[in-house]
Each structure stands twice: as C-alpha cells, then as structure tokens.
C-alpha cells in the first residue's frame, strides 16, 4: 500500500513568478530525493518588504534583505490563514559594488526559514557588461538597466539578466534554484546543524 504524500508548504517573500518557480523546483528536487513518500510542494508568494534598498550593494545588505523576506513571508503566511508554513524563503539579488571604474558582479542570497532556524546560500556570480553597469552605477536598478540596454519589457519576471546574458542557457529560476537546494542542507541534516539563530 502506497504511503500518503507529504505536503510541504512554502511561503516566498515575493510574488515574482521566477522566484516562486525556482522555490518550487528546488524543494521538489531536495525533498523528493530524500523521501520514500511522494512529496507535494505548495508554494505561495507574499509581497513583503526586504528592508534594504531596491538595489542592494554588497553581501551584507543582500543577505539581510533575503533574511527579512524569509521572516516576513513566514509571518505573512501565518497571518493570512492562521497556519504556519513548513518553510519560508527569501531571495534577494545584489551587486558587488557601484564604485566608478570597477567591474560589477551580480549574485543573490537565498535564505530558508522554518520559524526557528535559517539555512543560507549564495549563488554563483556573473559580471555585468559595461553598458548595463554604467546605468547601475548611475542609480538605476539592475532590472531597469537590463530592460533599457537590451530593449526588453518585464525582464525581472522572466529569464532575468542572467538568462539574457547566457543566451538562455540558464534562466533566473534555474540560477536561484540550485542555491535554494544548498540553503536547504541544514534542514536535510538537522543532527549536524544544531545551531538556532
């Protein structure tokens, strides 16, 4: 007799469809490979504030933004239905610098929260072309700079800058998904990760 599927509810600190898709994919990969029962992942996005500038600069602000989003999504999910999600996820994209003449690298932080513990990971980095970097240094958010240089609409909801620059080899959801799987490691091995933040 087959066992009942396990349902994992995940609150995402964003309503961006690429971030929601990345979260769903990552949780399905991480928990389907470690569970003998079928796993159903139910993901819901919440429009929450990051508490950092719209374009975070540096690791500290970017990680802080992801942490705030994870915590606030958890709280928003509880407030909306009275039930605690199994996990919440904060995803925050950042850049390395806005210093004149410096190369700008892009990256993102993923923070997974279960109401008491955090798992954190950072994506790989990629360098912006100078045409985009110049606009970002001038104060434009990356998504808007991308749209301006490449004449694209709504890039942040689709493949993102990483998707365009890799010519579709890796879209934004795939870029985030791997890092979310890595942020889930402490929850896959709780006996090895006992520290509660």
pLDDT category at 38 given cuts 50, 70, 90 is: confident
Q: Which two tokens stand for residue 151?
A: 């004449």
pLDDT, tens only, 163-179: 989 998 999 999 999 99
Which stretch of 18-27, 60-69, 146-155 has the lowest confidence by average pLDDT?
A: 146-155
| Residues in Cβ contact with 165 at an 8 Å cutoff, skipping those fewer than 6 apart | 126, 129
- What percent of the chain is predicted at pLDDT more than 70? 92
> Quick one: average pLDDT of 50-63?
96
> Quick one: average pLDDT of 93-103?
94
Q: CA-CA distance, 119 to 26, in Å (whole number)?
A: 13
pLDDT category at 196 given cuts 50, 70, 90 is: low
> Quick one: average pLDDT of 145-171?
83
- What percent of the chain is predicted at pLDDT more than 90? 75
**What's the confidence (pLDDT) of residue 195?**
65
Chain-centroid distance, C-alpha 155: 16
**What's the confidence (pLDDT) of residue 83?**
74
Indicate the Cα dihedral angle 54, 56, 13, 24, nearest 10°. 120
Query: Can you give the three-state secondary structure of the chain, one letter per residue?
Result: CCCCCEEEEEEECCCCHHHHHHHHHHHHHHHHCCCCCCEEEEEEECCCCCCCCCCCECHHHHHHHHHHHHHHHHHHHHHHHCCCCCEEEEEEEEECCCCCCCCCEEEEEEEEECCCCEEEEECCCEECCHHHHHHHHCCCCHHHHHHHHHCCCCHHHCCHHHHHHCCCCCCHHHHHHHHHHHHCHHHHCCCCCCCCC
Domain boundaries along the sequence of the chain: 6-96+107-124+172-188
For 6-96+107-124+172-188, CATH gives: 3.90.950.10
């Amino acid at each position: 007799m087959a066992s009942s599927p396990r349902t994992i509810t995940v609150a995402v600190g964003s309503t961006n469809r690429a971030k929601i898709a990345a979260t769903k994919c990552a949780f399905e990969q991480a928990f389907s490979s470690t569970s003998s029962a079928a796993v159903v992942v139910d993901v819901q996005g919440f429009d929450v504030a990051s508490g950092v500038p719209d374009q975070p600069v540096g690791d500290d602000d970017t990680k802080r933004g992801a942490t705030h989003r994870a915590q606030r999504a958890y709280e928003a999910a509880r407030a909306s239905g009275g039930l605690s999600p199994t996990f919440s996820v904060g995803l925050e994209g950042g850049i390395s610098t806005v210093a004149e003449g410096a190369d700008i690298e892009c990256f993102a932080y993923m923070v997974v929260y279960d109401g008491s513990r955090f798992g954190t990971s950072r994506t790989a980095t990629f360098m912006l072309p100078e045409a985009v970097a110049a606009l970002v240094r001038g104060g434009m958010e990356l998504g808007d700079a991308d749209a301006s240089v490449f004449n694209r609409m709504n890039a942040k909801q689709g493949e993102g800058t990483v998707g365009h620059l890799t010519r579709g080899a890796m879209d934004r959801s795939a870029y985030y998904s791997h890092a979310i799987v890595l942020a889930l490691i402490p929850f896959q091995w709780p006996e090895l990760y006992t520290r509660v933040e």
